[in-house]
Amino acid sequence: MASIIMKHWQKETDFIVYLFIRLVTLTPCCVYRILTWPIIRLGSSGWAARKIPIFRRILNNIAVVFPGMSWSGKFALLKQVLQKTVVGFYESSRMYRKNWINRVVDAEGLAHLDEALAKGKGVIAFSAHLGSFPLILSYLKMHGYPIRNIGRDPENPYLARYFEKVRGKAGVKHIPKNPVGLSIRESMRWLKAGNILSLPSDQYSRQGMSVPFFGQAVRTPTGPAVFARRLGCAVVPISIVRRANKHLIRVELALPMSWSKDQKKDIKENTALCNRMIERWVRENPEEWFGWFTRRFR
């Protein structure tokens, strides 16, 4: 009986959360900022840092990445992170609006992506949960690039269906992260056809490999390194950051991966190389990184 009540309660809670998110993202941006201001105000308060686990986690993560930062500096960064997060969520819900994307998104370095694609072995678009990262997918898709991503939908079924609908409008096809075996097979078929697979690789992975990340050994996804070794595809770093009132997609040179007869050694070195790229992005734009919310360091 208790389990039935819990399931019913969870279903109602999921729907209320979904309804709230849908309502606020349908409002004009100026109204949305007003509605989310209390969240930012609460999250950047000393009380929240002491009492609410998610805000404590953000501050603890900041302390790991920036050990010399003052207490006031950490709170200032926390406030910036919350501001960017609520705006980023709003913008990501509009990833299918072509006119808006063409107006607010620019890209540099696309020649690096073209060069990698020309080899015909597929391309790993190596990225992170930085800035309004879903806009990378919609922008590249709109400009004729064959791209899919691997990801995990939220456990809230209403939100999962909503995000699927948004991606569908943008023409972006999603490869579910689970079940893992099916995800890997589908990803390899996609890459073997000479296409682009987007892999955000900045989250904790229980199945990953322990490599350095901001001075700590953390379990890190090995997908980019494993796919590159098996298929010979290039790993091209792609990130997006805010520049004034616009977004800039930055496509960089393919990473110089290590190749030898020692497969495990290569995968470890190449995964560490990927982590160093993410470290650089986070140091350059710490307020844009959503990894602060996760248990990345454990």
In tens digits, the chain (298 residues) has pLDDT values of 445 444 545 566 666 666 766 666 677 777 777 777 777 777 777 777 777 888 889 999 999 999 999 988 998 999 899 888 878 777 777 777 788 888 889 999 999 999 999 999 999 999 999 998 889 999 999 999 999 988 776 667 777 777 777 777 777 888 878 788 888 899 999 999 999 999 999 988 888 899 999 999 999 999 999 999 999 999 999 999 998 889 999 999 999 998 888 999 999 999 999 999 999 999 999 999 999 988 888 8
Q: How many CB atoms lie within 10 A of CB 165?
A: 11
Alpha-carbon distance of 278 to 138, in angstroms, equals 22
Encoded tokens for 82: 């919350």
**The one-letter amino acid at 166:** V
Instruction: Round to whole Å and give the CA distance between 209 and 237.
Output: 20
Question: How high is the pLDDT of residue 139?
Answer: 93
What is the pTM assigned to this prediction? 0.87
Alpha helices, DSSP H only, in 131-262? Answer: 134-142, 157-170, 180-192, 223-231
What pLDDT score does 92 carry? 75
C-alpha torsion angle, residues 163, 274, 193, 264 (rounded to 10): -120
pLDDT at 16: 64
The contacts found for 28-35 with CB under 8 angstroms, 24 or more apart, are 29/90, 32/86, 32/90, 33/86, 33/87
* pLDDT computed for residue 2 by the predictor: 43
pLDDT at 17: 63
